[in-house]
């Protein structure tokens, strides 16, 4: 098994080096401050994933180990949820970004096409499924969080799913398959997101 120490490097630099452009899901810009001491203030955020291929990882991160955030995808279709795992003493860590197509604000869903990006921050290593047809969220639900305002609707988003085809490393032949995943994080929709804008202004 490969060394599991991971370090911080912005995803923009990775994409520029690899020439990926829009094929990977970018980390979610922070819509609001992260919950003190972890992903969700309620203490029940998590990320679990089984990854096999060029390396084997069994991720089981609890709320206090996570940074998480979510927002609508930049193209206005679906949501994007980001999880950054425990930071190692040397600053390294892993980030996973899920782009769930067709998911709408506050709505539950099934069989939702999903793009996944797996980022080894600091190692110039990034794996992406490069599209929404390789992974599926087979069940998703959203629960409105207390304290959400009319201008910024924030939900606890819970999902589980799997991939049938691999995520490919940028500029390399390595690949991994995320055979299953499930998570609880958060996603925020502010009043200026495409889903909440009047149709004439979208």
Asked whether residue 58 is domain-assigned, the answer is yes
Alpha helices in the chain (DSSP H): 11-18
CA distance 159 to 25: 17
* Residue 94 belongs to some domain of the structure: yes
6 found inside a domain: no
* pLDDT of 188 above 70: yes
Domain housing 115:
11-201
121 lies in a domain? Answer: yes
Q: Is residue 2 part of a domain?
A: no
- Give, in order, the Cα–Cα distances in Å from 155 to each of 11, 55, 167, 190: 25, 33, 28, 11
Domain count across the chain: 1
Is residue 1 a part of any domain in this protein?
no
Instruction: Classify 195 as helix, strand or coil.
Output: helix
Q: Rounded distance, CA 49 to CA 35, Å?
A: 22
Residue 120 counted as domain residue: yes
CA dist 139 and 23 (Å) reads 24
Helix (H) or strand (E) holding 12: helix 11-18
Judged by average pLDDT, the poorest of 44-53, 130-139, 188-197 is 188-197
The stretch 73-91 carries a mean pLDDT of 90
Q: Is residue 170 part of a domain?
A: yes
The pLDDT tens digits of the residues spanning 173-187 come to: 899 999 999 999 999
Q: Rounded to whole angstroms, how far apart are CA atoms 171 and 127? A: 10
In tens, the pLDDT along 123-153 reads 879 999 999 999 999 999 999 987 655 556 8
pLDDT, tens digit, for every residue of 10-32? 333 334 333 344 457 766 544 34
| pLDDT at residue 92 in the model | 85
């Amino acid at each position: 098994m490969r060394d599991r120490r991971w370090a911080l490097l912005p995803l923009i630099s990775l994409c520029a080096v690899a020439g990926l452009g829009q094929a990977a899901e970018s980390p979610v810009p922070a819509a609001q401050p992260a919950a003190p001491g972890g992903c969700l203030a309620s203490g029940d955020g998590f990320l679990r994933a089984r990854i096999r291929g060029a390396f084997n990882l069994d991720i089981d991160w609890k709320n206090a180990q996570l940074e998480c955030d979510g927002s609508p995808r930049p193209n206005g279709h679906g949501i994007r949820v980001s999880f950054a795992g425990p930071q190692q003493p040397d600053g390294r860590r892993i980030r996973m970004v899920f782009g769930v197509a067709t998911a709408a604000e506050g709505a539950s869903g099934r069989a939702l096409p999903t793009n996944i990006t797996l980022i080894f921050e600091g190692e110039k290593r990034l794996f992406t499924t490069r599209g929404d047809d390789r992974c599926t969220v087979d069940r998703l639900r959203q629960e409105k969080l207390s304290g959400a305002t009319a201008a910024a609707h924030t939900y606890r988003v819970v999902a589980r799913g799997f991939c049938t085809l691999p995520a490919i490393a940028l500029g390399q032949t390595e690949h991994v398959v995320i055979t299953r995943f499930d998570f609880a994080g958060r996603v925020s929709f502010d009043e200026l997101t495409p889903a909440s804008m009047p149709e004439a202004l979208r």
